[in-house]
Amino acid sequence: MTFADLGKRARGASRALAKATRAEKDVALRAAADAIDAGAAGIAKENDRDVADARARDVSRAMIDRLVLDAPRIASVAETLRDIARAEDPVGAVLEDRARPNGLRVRRVRVPIGVIGMIYEARPNVTAEAFALCFKAGNAVILRGGSDASRTNAALADAIRSALPEPLRDAVQLADASTRESVLEMVRAEGVIDLVIPRGGEALIRFVTENARVPVVQHYKGVCHLYVDASADVDEALAIARNAKLSRPGVCNALECLLVDDAIAARLLPRLAGALENCEIRGCEKTVALVPGAKRADEDDYGREFLDRILAVRVVAGLDGALDHIARFGSGHTEAIVTRDAANAARFRAEVDAACVVVNASTRFHDGGELGLGAEIGIATSRIHWRGPMGLESLTTMKWLVDGDGQIR
CA angle 96, 353, 253 (to 5 degrees): 95
Restricted to residues 199-228, the positions that interact with a second copy (CB under 8 A) are 209-210, 212-213, 215-217
Q: Which residues, including other chains, have CB under 8 Å from residue 201's CB and lie 6 or more apart? A: 121, 221
Total site size for a second copy, rule CB under 8 A = 68
Residues 67 and 285: their CA atoms lie apart, in Å, by: 38
Q: Does 328 bind a second copy (CB under 8 A)?
A: no
**Count of CB atoms situated within 10 Å of the CB of 246:** 17
Q: Considering beta carbons, is residue 86 or 349 the nearer one to a second copy? A: 349
Q: Which residues, including other chains, have CB under 8 Å from residue 346's CB and lie 6 or more apart? A: none
CB of 402 to a second copy, least distance (A): 4
Residues 273 and 210: their CA atoms lie apart, in Å, by: 42
Q: Does 195 bind a second copy (CB under 8 A)?
A: yes
Residues 335 and 228: their CA atoms lie apart, in Å, by: 11
CA angle 165, 199, 395 (to 5 degrees): 50
Does residue 145 contact residue 153 with C-beta atoms inside 8 Å?
Answer: yes
Q: Considering beta carbons, is residue 236 or 280 the nearer one to a second copy? A: 236
Q: Does 94 bind a second copy (CB under 8 A)?
A: no
- Pattern 136-175, a second copy, x by CB under 8 A: ----------------------------------------
Residues 174 and 176: their CA atoms lie apart, in Å, by: 7
Q: Does 30 bind a second copy (CB under 8 A)?
A: no
Q: Does 382 bind a second copy (CB under 8 A)?
A: yes
**Count of CB atoms situated within 10 Å of the CB of 195:** 20
Distances 326 to 93, 136, 246, 259, 331 between C-alpha atoms, Å: 37, 37, 21, 9, 8
Q: Does 408 bind a second copy (CB under 8 A)?
A: yes
Residues 87 and 28: their CA atoms lie apart, in Å, by: 14
Residues 296 and 314: their CA atoms lie apart, in Å, by: 10
Q: Does 8 bind a second copy (CB under 8 A)?
A: no
CA angle 332, 334, 335 (to 5 degrees): 95
CB of 185 to a second copy, least distance (A): 16
Q: Does 4 bind a second copy (CB under 8 A)?
A: no
Q: Considering beta carbons, is residue 285 or 403 the nearer one to a second copy? A: 403
Q: Which of 79, 190, 285, 324 binds a second copy (CB under 8 A)?
A: 190
How many residues in total does the chain contain? 409
Q: Which of 65, 176, 233, 341 binds a second copy (CB under 8 A)?
A: 233
Taking contact as CB under 8 A, which single stretch among the options 45-53, 174-182, 305-313, 382-390 is the one that binds a second copy? 382-390
CB of 214 to a second copy, least distance (A): 9
Q: Does 293 bind a second copy (CB under 8 A)?
A: no
Look up residue 88 and give its DSSP letter: P
Does residue 136 contact residue 11 with C-beta atoms inside 8 Å?
Answer: no
Taking contact as CB under 8 A, which single stretch among the options 124-132, 157-165, 298-306, 343-351 is the one that binds a second copy? 343-351
Restricted to residues 346-375, the positions that interact with a second copy (CB under 8 A) are 349-351, 353-362, 364-366, 370-372
CB of 156 to a second copy, least distance (A): 27
Site for a second copy, rule CB under 8 A: 19, 98, 100, 104, 106, 108, 111, 113-114, 190, 194-195, 209-210, 212-213, 215-217, 233, 236, 239-240, 242-244, 247, 345, 349-351, 353-362, 364-366, 370-372, 382-389, 397-409
